[in-house]
Chain A
Amino acid sequence: MKKGLTGRIVTALACLIILAGYLFVPSADRRADAETRTITMGTSPDYPPYESVDAVGSGEIVGLDIDIAKYISDKLGYKLEISPSDFDGLIAALQTRRVDFVMSGMSVTEERKQSVDFSDSYYLARNTIVSLSGHEYKSLDELKGKKLGVQLGSTQETAAKELEGVTLLSLNKIPDLIQALQAGRVDALIVEDAVAAGYANANENLKFTMVPAAGGDEGYAIAFPKGSPLREEFNSVLSQMKSDGTLQQMIDASFGTETAAPSDSGGGTIDFGVLKPYMSFLLKGIYVTLLFTIVSAAFGFIWGAVLSLFKLSNIPPLRWFSTVYTSIFRGTPLLLQLLLLFYAIPQLFHYNIPPLLAAGLAFGLNSAAYLSETIRGGILAVDKGQREASLALGIPYRTMMISIIMPQAIKNILPALVNECVALVKESSLVSVIGVADLLRRSNIVQADTYRALEPLLFIGAIYYVLVLVLTSLARLLERRMRRSD
């Protein structure tokens, strides 16, 4: 038994959290922005050609929206920071002032106007019908009685709802829609032209047809928090860009040089070759996923152990606290806890919590609720005589718990602990919703980049499986080591 083992674990954990915080805090927070003010843009980089990650090259976020945003901030003398997150989280990020503005191919809708202010629109996309070659649909009339795929919350969804006699399947992401179409779960998709063109180029079996612009569509615009003074500044630059042709140039350049990876086989077959350039980008996700799992597992275990001691304590308030704690964290969805932590902390404490820290915290807190019960069971299963022998030897409570009771308790519950770790590895994919670039998030980005839906998913599925396999073999080794004394 080494002296102060837990002390060291706690220190290491604290270092990890601080390090994670340091790594993932937007650098704007650390810099004294004396000369140039930094403004942060929120975007969901899975929508080429508007925004996507240059995963093959620099790893930076690129696209038409980025070009426009850079141009405007340059003109206004701001320094631009880009904060990627899921499309669903963008409005919340604006409202909680995590970002100063959002550009993410976001259409102006009445609902959104309730929560944010929009600039003038900078692009009016046209809707297109995407269908499989051989089963092409050339006009909206032909879609009667068919099943249609649209992106959730998009203007295309609103337009499609007005069509008569169609069934709608609304999904979050374009790659998912393409997959649904390939799999025959829908007959056709309605998406916007630039996106459709990209996918049709990459998948030979996809065809697209333009449809007349929907009436009342106000196009894409920049979103600001309600009452933001930035809106006027941005509008003035936008109108200058429109009048001197800069905007049109950017649009042409962006859509013209669209370089979708040409697929050498038919779009319906699986070709892992398309992933080759993205290998290192995807593999970096392992590091993020592992770092996150380790931080949340360690935090969850230590906090869970403390909670389990609270539960066994003879001080009633500690018992009540831990019981209520467990009940709340087990009784609400993890995803909800994650989003609450991520969006509520900046509002309540004026601390812009970095995504990875928020995720580690949420998962640790949640995992601790489950582990506290497991550990409590493990402690109760240790022979009472162990406690009496320790007391009789004059061993203080803390030392007894750490060196005598816990090692035996852990040995009892090792299989349950391994289960929890395995669950954490897989649940970690939830963090992609707040923009942490873990494996799943990266596969989304690669899906968007390659216009291929299935290959990235299968690939990271295999990675997850291997990670879990490695984890369980390590656990088996540990168990064998602990069984040494039997």
Chain B
Amino acid sequence: MINVEHLTKSYGKHEVLKDISTTVAKGEVVAVIGPSGSGKSTFLRCLNLLETPTSGRITIDGVDLTDRKTDITRVRQHIGMVFQHFHLFPHMTVMDNLIFAPTRVKGVSREEAVAKGMELLDRVGLKDKADFYPSRLSGGQKQRVAIARSLAMDPDIMLFDEPTSALDPEMVKEVLAVIRDLASSGMTMLIVTHEMNFAREAANTIYFIDGGQLLERSTPDSFFAKPKTERAARFLEQVL
């Protein structure tokens, strides 16, 4: 489904991603872990071209994202993204946040979008907050709305960029529950996270990125039991 070939990304002389190649299958749930500043987020943001790769090729369902002729706006409509700091639209109610893109971009009727929005809010446990403005929600609630907002576009792939890092500890659980639920529904997902326990139980595959290199790709069981590289072992020692 997602095919990454020789992806590199540099800011001036500083090389953030070094020759990353990998494939993500449909329905695969990938947890991307590694030390901070290792390039995990940059890797994720390259997948919907929020960052423009310096070189390499990314194809999603056969569409080459790095091809200049590709209408990236259309591709992005099929890739949901959840950010560390939520980025809800503060001037819109929760429901308007959810239905904005479907109605304005996909041309879904308002009634249909609202019905679907309600369903999604129910799924993330926030049905009663539809008419609230984001400023009145807690961090965990905001992040659950942000997930629902992405899902409202019916994406084929979901990208999560440290979805729980900005949350108070007691709110992490409610957000992870939603993501876990989504993972078990068969959605293709990549999640950059520092929650090792969550990565272990929810993901099918662990990517370990350090220094801009994809050092390891393995199942959670083998990765957490016996990492192949020295650096991964040292990282696990520090975080577990």
Contacts and interface: CB of A to CB of B under 8 A. Distances in A.
A395 B101 contact: yes
Contacts of A385: 83, 85-87
B205 to A, nearest CB: 23
Interface of B: 48, 50, 73-81, 83, 85-93, 96, 100-101, 104-105, 133-135, 146, 149-150, 153, 159
Contacts of B104: 1, 3, 395, 399, 403
B50 A393 contact: no
Nearest to A404: B89
Contact of A392 (B48, B96, B135): B48
A383 B133 contact: no
B135 A485 contact: yes
A394 B100 contact: no
Given A1-B100, A385-B85, A485-B133, A393 B91 contact: no
Contact of B76 (A383, A392, A411): A392
A386 B89 contact: yes
Given A399-B104, A485-B90, A485-B135, A393 B83 contact: no
B105 A407 contact: no
Contacts of B134: 485
A388 interface: yes
A426 B89 CA distance: 37
Contacts of A485: 90-93, 133-135
B136 to A, nearest CB: 9
B105 A394 contact: yes
Given A1-B104, A393-B153, 13 more contacts: A1-B96, A385-B83, A389-B88, A391-B76, A392-B50, A392-B159, A396-B105, A399-B104, A403-B100, A403-B104, A407-B91, A411-B91, A484-B133
A13 B159 CA distance: 43
Interface in A375-404: 383, 385-386, 388-389, 391-396, 399, 403-404
Nearest to A407: B91
Contact of B73 (A394, A407, A411): A394
Contacts of B88: 389
B120 to A, nearest CB: 14
Contact of A393 (B96, B101, B135): B101
Contacts of A403: 100, 104
Contacts, number: 79
Interface residues of A, number: 23
A444 interface: no
Contacts of B83: 385, 388-389, 392
Contact of B135 (A404, A408, A486): A486
Contacts of A399: 104-105
A326 B75 CA distance: 38
A408 B134 CA distance: 14
Contacts of A386: 87, 89
A408 B91 CA distance: 7
A399 B77 CA distance: 14
Contacts of B48: 391-392
B87 A388 contact: yes
A396 B104 CA distance: 10
Nearest to B75: A394
Contact of B77 (A394, A404, A408, A482): A394
Given A383-B87, A386-B87, A404-B89, A395 B105 contact: yes
Contacts of B87: 383, 385-386, 388-389
Nearest to A3: B104
Contacts of B149: 393
Contacts of B101: 393-395
Contacts of B146: 389
26 contacts: A1-B100, A3-B104, A386-B87, A388-B87, A389-B87, A389-B88, A391-B48, A391-B76, A392-B50, A392-B80, A392-B83, A393-B100, A394-B73, A394-B76, A394-B78, A394-B105, A395-B105, A396-B73, A396-B105, A403-B100, A408-B91, A411-B91, A484-B133, A485-B90, A485-B91, A485-B93
A485 B93 CA distance: 8
Interface in A465-486: 482, 484-486
B50 A389 contact: no
Contacts of B75: 394
B78 to A, nearest CB: 8
Contacts of A3: 104
* Most chain B CB atoms below 10 A, which of A3, A389, A392, A404: A392
Interface in A152-169: none
A394 B65 CA distance: 14
A261 B153 CA distance: 75
Contacts of B133: 484-486
Contacts of B86: 385
Contacts of A393: 76-77, 80, 100-101, 105, 149-150, 153
Given A399-B105, A403-B100, A486-B135, A394 B74 contact: yes
A387 to B, nearest CB: 9
B163 to A, nearest CB: 13
Contacts of B93: 485
A383 B87 CA distance: 8
Contacts of A388: 50, 83, 87
A393 B100 CA distance: 10
Contacts of B50: 388, 391-392
